[in-house]
Amino acid sequence: MSKPDGLYRHPTRSEIIEQAIMEGHDADIPSNVGSLRQIPSNLPDDDLHPHQSLAIEADPEKGRAASLSSDDDATEEVAGEDPNIIFWDGPDDPQNPLNWSVLKKWGTVVIVSILTFLTPLASSMFAPGVPEVMRDFHSTSNMLSSFMVSVYVLGFAFGPLLIAPLSEMYGRLILYHGCTALFIVFTIAAAVSTNMSMFIVFRFFMGTFGGAPLVLGGGTIADLISREQRGTAMSVWMMGPTIGPCVGPIIGGFLIQAKGWRWAFYFVAIVAGACFIMAIFLMKETSAPVILERKTKRLRAETGNLKLRSKLASDLSPRDLFKFSIVRPVKMLFLSPICLIISVYIAITYTYLYILFTTFTGVYKNQYGWKGGIAGLSFLGLGVGCLIGQFICTNIGNRIASKHIKAGDFTPEHRLPVMAVGAPLLPVGFFLYGWSVQYGLHFMVPIVGTGLVGFSLLLVFMPAMTYLVDVFTVHAASAMAASTVSRSLFAALVPLSAEKMYAAMGYGWGNSLLGFVAVLFAPMPFLFIKYGERIRTRSTVKL
């Protein structure tokens, strides 16, 4: 059995940060390879060991630790001389998730990937059935017709803030099981709702608990798969958030036509229920700090030695975990100019997606006479565009970054050239979509327009998120949480006025307005490429 990556040698600073980001928390919270809070001062930055205290940099945008302080007890642990430290029983310990069988590892990855595909799919799957829901609940409010779709994303804003710190305390498995069970319960509740208020509340809780695989999935893959093989697993897992919301309406359109809108929810509940049953029998806890803490508690009880402690034990209280998970993102969002500007831009582009989700059915029904399952095909251009955008962004973006990393001159701003291509294309897509619909051109023209919108959205969204990771390093998870909250709030609330906008301005000028807003932000990646480093060096964010 090969030696698990990063666990039986000193992990580098970059490995600790990478692992923490994938697990969805900052690098001063213990991960499977330790944390930057626990590093000896006698090791250089690129050879840091996860067991001594560290004063994390006060300004996360500076990108390096401000000071290190040594600790005698920690030094003893680094030397491996403390018999009270509990760790794996050698490199082949079967309790270590990196030593699980290939079938067990990839079986877990498949289940998590299905859940990660299913919950974004559920966000938009019933969109073609909005007119039926409005009719059944005797409502004519355009605002409610939009909100019943986007309220799901409002749950995405709040769920992760609770799920992430809870997983650090209790492990991933109980969060997967608990959130999946509650997701199924609220999905069925939405399906049997008898009025609009019930339906909207249940949709909100679907989003709140449905966000668990998005929060926990990256960490689970990092727990199980070595760095050399992780790219494939991450590609499979990332397809869920990318194409799930676009595939959902296509499936939902035909299902709703055949069985009615309630079956869109029954379908999701059935698939989620099957995954839940598989997860109960096949999934095990993968978080190394939690596994080792349980092992430590068992050995304390067996030996009576209360001095035993896990090598990956956290010195953070539950209160601190919640504080870091909730307070830090808010501070970074409002006090860091980079985090604020990037998060607002991401929020606007993400909002565009849900404006389209909430209006596509009406647009193609009114302008092209599409009904039933055919209406769901209107989302096809958007989905294909997003898929191509993800492929281009992943390949070309990584090539550009790798080139500069090899040259030794890499800065976070080297993530932005791809974004600089996507930003100007976004308004073009809206102009093409809006005016082709306004003048009733062949349906393929607006489909191509929305495909260009989806393509450019991914070229903006993915580099922006990677840029936040590279800028904030140690506190990258907090920066991404700030972005998640802002974009989810925008996506839930802004589309409420979309129908009124189109009614007042028409599809041509209405979508042109969205395009003009995108034009205002189009220079942003160019400005950050030129001035981003200067802004970062002048930052005064204190966490």
Whole-model pTM: value is 0.82
Same structural domain for residues 77 and 159?
no
* Pick from 357, 355, 364, 366: nearest CA to 500: 355
Determine the 3-state secondary structure of 31 from DSSP. Answer: strand
Q: Model confidence at 53, in pLDDT bands (50, 70, 90)? A: very low
Query: Considering the domain boundaries, does residue 309 fall inside one?
Result: yes
State how far Cα 88 lies from the chain centre: 30
Locate 257 and state its tokens: 């036509």
Same structural domain for residues 417 and 272?
no
| pLDDT tens-digit series, residues 511-540 | 999 999 999 999 999 999 998 888 887 776
Question: Does the pLDDT of residue 42 top 70, yes or no?
Answer: no
Instruction: Give the length of the chain.
Output: 543
**Per-residue model confidence (pLDDT) at position 52:** 38
**Per-residue model confidence (pLDDT) at position 349:** 92
Query: Considering the domain boundaries, does residue 120 fall inside one?
Result: yes
**Per-residue model confidence (pLDDT) at position 158:** 84
Q: How many H-runs (helices) and E-runs (strands) does the chain carry? A: 20, 4
Give the Cα separation of 237 and 394 in Å (integer): 14
Query: Considering the domain boundaries, does residue 88 fall inside one?
Result: no
Q: Model confidence at 235, in pLDDT bands (50, 70, 90)? A: confident
Question: Which range of residues forms the domain containing residue 425?
Answer: 325-543
**Per-residue model confidence (pLDDT) at position 542:** 67
Same structural domain for residues 121 and 146?
yes
Secondary structure element (H or E) that encloses residue 359, with its range: helix 337-368
Return the biggest CA–CA distance within the chain: 80
| pLDDT tens-digit series, residues 31-41 | 777 777 655 43
Determine the 3-state secondary structure of 434 from DSSP. Answer: helix
Select the more confidently predicted residue: 325 or 102: 102
Q: For 493-511, what is the mean pLDDT?
A: 91
Same structural domain for residues 13 and 144?
no
Query: Which segment, 155-169, 288-302, 443-457, is predicted with the most confidence on average?
Result: 443-457
Same structural domain for residues 171 and 283?
yes
- The mean pLDDT value of the chain amounts to 83
Picking from 275, 295, 315, the residue at the C-terminal end of a domain is: 315
Same structural domain for residues 352 and 292?
no
* Pick from 361, 367, 402: nearest CA to 382: 361
Query: Considering the domain boundaries, does residue 73 fall inside one?
Result: yes
| pLDDT tens-digit series, residues 63-106 | 543 333 333 333 334 434 578 888 888 888 888 898 999 899 99
Same structural domain for residues 395 and 474?
yes
| pLDDT tens-digit series, residues 355-410 | 998 888 888 888 888 877 787 788 889 989 988 998 888 888 888 888 888 888 88
DSSP 286: -
Same structural domain for residues 257 and 330?
no
Determine the 3-state secondary structure of 377 from DSSP. Answer: helix
Answer yes or no: are the C-beta atoms of 252 and 126 closer than 8 Å: yes
Write the CA distances from 331 to 59, 247, 356, 475, 485, integer angstroms: 12, 36, 31, 12, 13
Select the more confidently predicted residue: 169 or 467: 467
| pLDDT tens-digit series, residues 245-292 | 888 888 888 898 889 999 999 999 999 999 999 999 999 999 888 898
**Per-residue model confidence (pLDDT) at position 16:** 81
Question: Does the pLDDT of residue 60 top 70, yes or no?
Answer: no
What's 144's domain CATH number?
1.20.1250.20
Select the more confidently predicted residue: 302 or 74: 302
Q: What percent of the chain has pLDDT over 70?
A: 89
**Per-residue model confidence (pLDDT) at position 47:** 46
Same structural domain for residues 57 and 131?
no
Picking from 315, 335, 355, the residue at the C-terminal end of a domain is: 315
Same structural domain for residues 355 and 417?
yes
**Per-residue model confidence (pLDDT) at position 541:** 67
Query: Considering the domain boundaries, does residue 394 fall inside one?
Result: yes
Select the more confidently predicted residue: 226 or 49: 226
Write the CA distances from 384 to 387, 403, 420, 456, integer angstroms: 5, 29, 21, 12
Query: Considering the domain boundaries, does residue 378 fall inside one?
Result: yes
Query: Considering the domain boundaries, does residue 90 fall inside one?
Result: no
**How many distinct structural domains can be found in the chain?**
3
Determine the 3-state secondary structure of 46 from DSSP. Answer: coil
Query: Considering the domain boundaries, does residue 208 fall inside one?
Result: yes
DSSP 62: G
Q: For 450-478, what is the mean pLDDT?
A: 89
Q: For 420-449, what is the mean pLDDT?
A: 95
Picking from 33, 59, 82, the residue at the C-terminal end of a domain is: 82
Same structural domain for residues 386 and 489?
yes
**Per-residue model confidence (pLDDT) at position 62:** 58
Same structural domain for residues 30 and 127?
no
